[in-house]
Chains A and B, each alone.
Chain A
């Protein structure tokens, strides 16, 4: 018995060794290096002097760090919950269709998701360009003054959040549809027999049974949007990059524009912990909410 389990352990070790090696090489080792880098004044390339926690203690006083922190938070607020609601509504709508029509409508909603971010940027930049954008001519028809969407701080984040939802909703819709299809039809039939209205059916059956999927979508969205970079970087190009800065962009700017590897690493580590803490917290909260929902049903 003992020998048997020992050889099993050996086989297991051999089997997971490649994964451990790759994981250690491309994740654990760089992460440790980054932690070490964040307590030095190293430039982008080459070593630096040990400076203790200076790179961290100076962060709260850096105006661009604060801007980036606020903008990231603002973006998360604008995109995570609204994006999930939009995806849920579309999924509910698509679910009512059937056959070829359903496939077609689903494909239409999913289409933006397959576009690379550069194409998304070009599309919306052309649409919303202040001088030549199509949308500006629509505003002209209604005699509404043109809006320099990506050049003012008022419109920048809402616009980028809107574009992001347009771009990424397709994936959440798929998840929701899978969740909706997993709900047994019998439950709805029973509800119909009991003369339950559409709203009651949704509130008492669909919503609680779909909750695990909703929680998953919210968590994926949260982690994704905390790490926002591409769209903000592209749309802010030449505009007001320092005012519309987000955290990952701040890491990039410190490292590649200002040539301060140590300080960039400190921001990256900070963001790393923010993502962990916020997502764990959110997941726990969602679980609690889910449990209390179930409690009501009993």
Chain B
């Protein structure tokens, strides 16, 4: 009898427990486009989140194909009310998304509920998620491009400063001299591994070089007005010059560029910070030389680097109102991941949430700490519905960058054509 009572009480308790769990547990549907090395790290963060919110919030995550497929799916699913509760979004794609009405505003109440605000983010990053003084996403990181270099090769050629950074980073002449010295050393195939076969990618480098001259792609809805065309021509000119002098690899696509650098055939490489885990892992396995990563060289007037930001956005599901509980859960997801983004930094990205980058742990991370000061010099895409990764502006640029960077086309002709074609859109 006692046993039966015990079992009965146990069953009742178990029932009570499951009921209370079912009442408080929110499942947050999550979509992201993080398929690479950073995707592995995000999965880790998600499972940490789920463990920390056991019985309260569960993230149900799906990873989709990066680029046009992802953004098309978001758009179509939001139109029929089948979008997730939260998703990763490129800040550069926000203007288009807002014009399509597929993102919900992150209100002042939301920010205070998350315990975050404008002061926690770099100015350029905050601005990148802001349209008409309303925010549409919570920045998770910024992912600029940096200069990777082979310390062994540079050191053998006497091209390293005492602090281990490359020489000649402060001027066009200086950097070209460094490249030339590397070529003359004869120890490598290319001084600079450059993604010259992929104009989409080169947009990042070229836009950075334009930013170093305060050039703007778009002013008042017009493309390349005033002397901005000349500034683009200057940027293309310096890269074309390196090609003509045999200082960088030609017609090289993205994977080949990484391979040239990691195999030691190219002494330096301009690439995104997302390749940091590749280098760290290979180095840890003993397959890589000593390496470093620094902010891009100052070729023109002042430092400037193109960046984009992975951020979190809440889709505006047509005809499907989000409950207050669900929204609170989504806000908790976004703020928790942001506040725990120190681990995300191991993917190379610079966390957007300043308290993380200001922490002592972050400052001890290398090479992240070396290049993270560049956040002061970041520029983002122009705010246009044509802008953004895998957007139409990328395609126009790409079409002219590839021939120009490989010596097939004159930079001046390229600029004239780019101008016409951008204004055609």
Q: Is the CB of B100 within 8 A of A240?
A: no
- The minimal Cβ–Cβ distance linking B230 to chain A, given in whole angstroms, is 23
Binds B, one of A40-48, A202-210, A278-286: A40-48
- Asked if A257 CB lies within 8 Å of chain B CBs, one says yes
- Asked if B142 CB lies within 8 Å of chain A CBs, one says no
Known A238-B198, A240-B399, A241-B395; judge A151-B406 contact (CB<8 A): yes
Cα distance A46–B75 in the bound complex, in angstroms: 10
Give the A-B contact count at a CB cut-off of 8 A: 83
Contact with B along A41-58 (1 / 0, CB 8 A): 001111000000000000
Q: Is the CB of A62 within 8 A of B424?
A: yes
Question: Which residues of B have CB within 8 Å of A239?
Answer: 197-199, 398, 402
Cα distance A292–B198 in the bound complex, in angstroms: 52
Q: Is the CB of B96 within 8 A of A148?
A: no
Interface centre among B68, B197, B198 (most CB of A within 10 A): B197
Q: Is the CB of B96 within 8 A of A259?
A: yes
Question: Which residues of B have CB within 8 Å of A259?
Answer: 96, 100, 385
Known A45-B79, A131-B249, A148-B251; judge A240-B392 contact (CB<8 A): no
Cα distance A265–B250 in the bound complex, in angstroms: 38
Question: Which residues of A have CB within 8 Å of B408?
Answer: 152
Q: Is the CB of A44 within 8 A of B399?
A: no
- Asked if B362 CB lies within 8 Å of chain A CBs, one says no
Q: Is the CB of B395 within 8 A of A253?
A: yes
- Asked if B391 CB lies within 8 Å of chain A CBs, one says yes
Cα distance A256–B76 in the bound complex, in angstroms: 11
- The minimal Cβ–Cβ distance linking A130 to chain B, given in whole angstroms, is 4
Cα distance A62–B423 in the bound complex, in angstroms: 12
Q: Is the CB of A256 within 8 A of B402?
A: no
- Asked if B296 CB lies within 8 Å of chain A CBs, one says no
Interface residues of B in 175-212 (CB under 8 A from A): 197-201
- Asked if B260 CB lies within 8 Å of chain A CBs, one says yes
Known A148-B250, A151-B197, A240-B398; judge A258-B421 contact (CB<8 A): no
Contact of B403 among A46, A240, A258 (CB under 8 A): A240
Q: Is the CB of B385 within 8 A of A242?
A: no
Known A129-B256, A259-B385; judge A242-B76 contact (CB<8 A): no
Which residue of B is nearest A45, CB measured?
Answer: B79
Interface residues of A in 204-241 (CB under 8 A from B): 238-241
- Asked if A63 CB lies within 8 Å of chain B CBs, one says yes
Q: Is the CB of B197 within 8 A of A242?
A: no
Cα distance A18–B256 in the bound complex, in angstroms: 53
- The minimal Cβ–Cβ distance linking B95 to chain A, given in whole angstroms, is 12
- The minimal Cβ–Cβ distance linking A71 to chain B, given in whole angstroms, is 13
- The minimal Cβ–Cβ distance linking B406 to chain A, given in whole angstroms, is 7
Q: Is the CB of A258 within 8 A of B399?
A: no
Cα distance A40–B199 in the bound complex, in angstroms: 33
Contact with B along A121-133 (1 / 0, CB 8 A): 0000000011110
- The minimal Cβ–Cβ distance linking B112 to chain A, given in whole angstroms, is 33
Which residue of B is nearest A254, CB measured?
Answer: B392
Contact of B391 among A45, A62, A257 (CB under 8 A): A257
Known A44-B75, A63-B424, A151-B197; judge A242-B398 contact (CB<8 A): yes
Which residue of B is nearest A258, CB measured?
Answer: B392
Interface residues of A in 140-155 (CB under 8 A from B): 148, 151-152
Interface residues of B in 351-400 (CB under 8 A from A): 385-386, 390-392, 395-396, 398-399
- Asked if B425 CB lies within 8 Å of chain A CBs, one says yes
Cα distance A240–B251 in the bound complex, in angstroms: 11
- The minimal Cβ–Cβ distance linking B264 to chain A, given in whole angstroms, is 14
Q: Is the CB of B425 within 8 A of A258?
A: yes
- Asked if B50 CB lies within 8 Å of chain A CBs, one says no
- The minimal Cβ–Cβ distance linking B386 to chain A, given in whole angstroms, is 8
Q: Is the CB of A257 within 8 A of B198?
A: no
Which residue of A is nearest B76, CB measured?
Answer: A45
- Asked if B72 CB lies within 8 Å of chain A CBs, one says yes
Cα distance A148–B201 in the bound complex, in angstroms: 17
Cα distance A156–B402 in the bound complex, in angstroms: 13
Question: Which residues of A have CB within 8 Å of B225?
Answer: none
- Asked if B131 CB lies within 8 Å of chain A CBs, one says no
- The minimal Cβ–Cβ distance linking A198 to chain B, given in whole angstroms, is 46
Question: Which residues of B have CB within 8 Å of A240?
Answer: 199, 398-399, 402-403
Contact of A131 among B75, B100, B252, B425 (CB under 8 A): B252
Which residue of A is nearest B196, CB measured?
Answer: A151
Q: List 21 A-B contacts (CB under 8 A).
A: A43-B100, A44-B72, A44-B75, A64-B421, A129-B256, A131-B249, A131-B251, A131-B259, A148-B251, A148-B406, A151-B197, A151-B406, A238-B201, A238-B254, A239-B197, A239-B398, A240-B403, A241-B395, A242-B421, A256-B72, A257-B390
On B, residues with C-beta under 8 Å from A are: 68, 72, 75-76, 79, 96, 100, 197-201, 249-254, 256, 259-260, 385-386, 390-392, 395-396, 398-399, 402-403, 406, 408, 421, 424-425
